[in-house]
Structure 1
Amino acid sequence: MFLPKTETAIPVFVPDPEASYQAYMMKQLPEGLWTTSICECYEDLSNCFFTCLCPCITMGQNSEIVNRGEISCRWASLLHVATGVVLFGWIFGSTNRTSLRQHFSLPESPLPDWSTHLLCMWCALCQEHRELRTRGADPSLGWEGNVSKWKEEAMTPPIVVPRMVP
């Protein structure tokens, strides 16, 4: 319907379609299930390539979010390198994966956390990165960056499982 030339159109607020889509997806996330399988690296090719070249940085980014900023990306990356990315890095990676699973009540699949990181650390890191992004956290922003983003969007942080305090 066209408005006559003498009348002016009233501006209508149209919500940001990307924000609406993200809000919709947050409601559609399967509870207790991974949103992507471990072999779906093609879902985020840039992260896949980056992780293949620098797994310690992806580990650090994921770790900072999973540990709620208690360990910085820099220190987590250095720890991953110091433990030997391929030799013993799987130990550090599996503890982060276990924490991530506990935060979102995800199953220990396709294998136990330690063997997933031992056999295919790169695929595990990519899957964890995708899971964090899908559930509302951007590992590349770091913990403080995500907290700021959540405050601006008036969104509850996606990691809601409280930690036990001794």
Structure 2
Amino acid sequence: MAEERIPSRYVKLTKDQAPLEDIKPGELNQPIQVPQLACRKCNECGQPLPESFEPPADEPWTTGIFGCAENTESCWTGLFCPCVLFGRNVKRLREDTPWTTPCICHAIFVEGGIALAAATAAFHGIDPRTSFLLCEGLLFSWWMCGIYTGLFRQSLQKKYHLKNSPCDPCMVHCCMHWCALCQEHREMQGRLSDNVAMPMTIVNPPPVQEMNAAGDNQDSAPSSANGIEQTNLEMQAL
């Protein structure tokens, strides 16, 4: 029996049936705009946000910029060792950054500039030319310190949605550097307090039990009911 030939489903194109438009290399690999993917995203993590999401409004600072006396510890630290206070503030905001790194950077720009100016004035005297160089160096180091610490203040405001108080973060540090450091310390101490004691519960385990024969110790029979041992669990809250 001769096998029946099944006609092929594919149609062979001829030259006349070839496409008229030439496809350029890479023309078919263009990105496609999907409306479902065109949504709002978070500026911090990049995750998509729902349409009804509204960013939180800016909140006022919990303490004023001139409230340095509200926390005497940070006030004295910021007055005599501002580099240490700044390092602690950065450590509280960014746990992966050691406090010594920002402390050293602050000490180079501020304390280092002041010490260099004092040493130059003591050993070389103060004349018009030396005074001009000292003022120029101090202004440059103070300007660099204001930008460096102002970026940290800006990150703090962005994280907790705080208002600019009283103006741009860099200008705040350039004009009121010590007061700004103390205010940032008080703000993070109020929001990230390490002294908050979490309630804990102490559970005392039951005493060790031993298995004895039923006939050996009959006095222990009343302590059980229907063959089920009863255990007293004592819980005591701190």
TM-score norm. by structure 1 comes to 0.61
> Shift of residue 136 of structure 1?
2.2
- The whole-number CA distance in structure 2 between the counterparts of 1:50 and 1:79 is 17
Task: Name 1:72's counterpart in structure 2.
Answer: 98
Give the conservation status (yes or no) of the 8 Å contact 1:98–1:113.
yes
CA-based RMSD: 2.3
Query: Within the alignment, does 1:58 sit opposite 2:114 as a pair?
Result: no
1:81 aligns with 2:107: yes
Q: Which one scores higher on RCO, CA 8 angstroms, separation ≥ 6?
A: 1
Q: Does 1:49 align with 2:76?
A: yes
Superimposed CA distance per residue, residues 61-94 of structure 1 (whole angstroms, 9 cap, x where no aligned partner): 001122x223211111001112335622211110
**Is residue 2:120 matched to residue 1:94?**
no
Cα separation, 1, equivalents of 2:88 and 2:190: 15
Tell me, yes or no, if structure 1 residue 124 matches structure 2 residue 180: yes
Counterpart-to-counterpart distance in 2, 1:90 and 1:137: 27
Q: Which runs of 5+ in 1 are unaligned?
A: 1-30, 139-148, 155-166
2:165 pairs with 1:109: yes
Q: Aligned residues, how many?
A: 113
Identity within the alignment, %: 30
Amino acid across the alignment from 2:104: L
Q: Decide which structure has the larger Cα Rg and report it.
A: 2
- For residues 136 and 84 of structure 1, what CA distance do their matches in structure 2 show? 28
Distance between the aligned counterparts of 1:40 and 1:84, measured in 2?
23
Match of 2:85, SS state, is: helix
Q: TM-score, normalised by structure 2?
A: 0.44
Secondary structure of the corresponding residue to residue 83 of structure 1: helix
Contact 1:65 1:137 in 2 (8 A): no
Distance 1:40 1:106 in 2: 17
Cα deviation, residue 51, structure 1: 0.6
Name stretches of at least 5 consecutive residues in structure 2 with no aligned partner. Answer: 1-57, 112-140, 200-238
Structure that is richer in helix per residue: 1
**Secondary structure of 2:100's aligned partner:** helix
Divergent runs of 4+, >6 A? none
**Are the counterparts in 2 of residues 36 and 131 from structure 1 also a CA contact under 8 Å?**
yes
> Residue 36 of structure 1 corresponds to which residue in structure 2?
63
Query: Does the CA-based 8 Å contact 1:81-1:89 persist in structure 2?
Result: no
Query: Matches of 2:193 and 2:102 in 1, distance apart?
Result: 18
1:122-142, CA deviations, whole angstroms, 9 ceiling, x for partnerless residues? 00000000000111245xxxx
Task: Give 1:50 deviation, angstroms.
Answer: 1.3
Tell me the amino acid that sits aligned with residue 70 of structure 2.
E
Q: Give the counterpart of 1:153 among 198, 219, 228.
A: 198
CA distance in 1: counterparts of 2:149 and 2:180, whole angstroms: 9
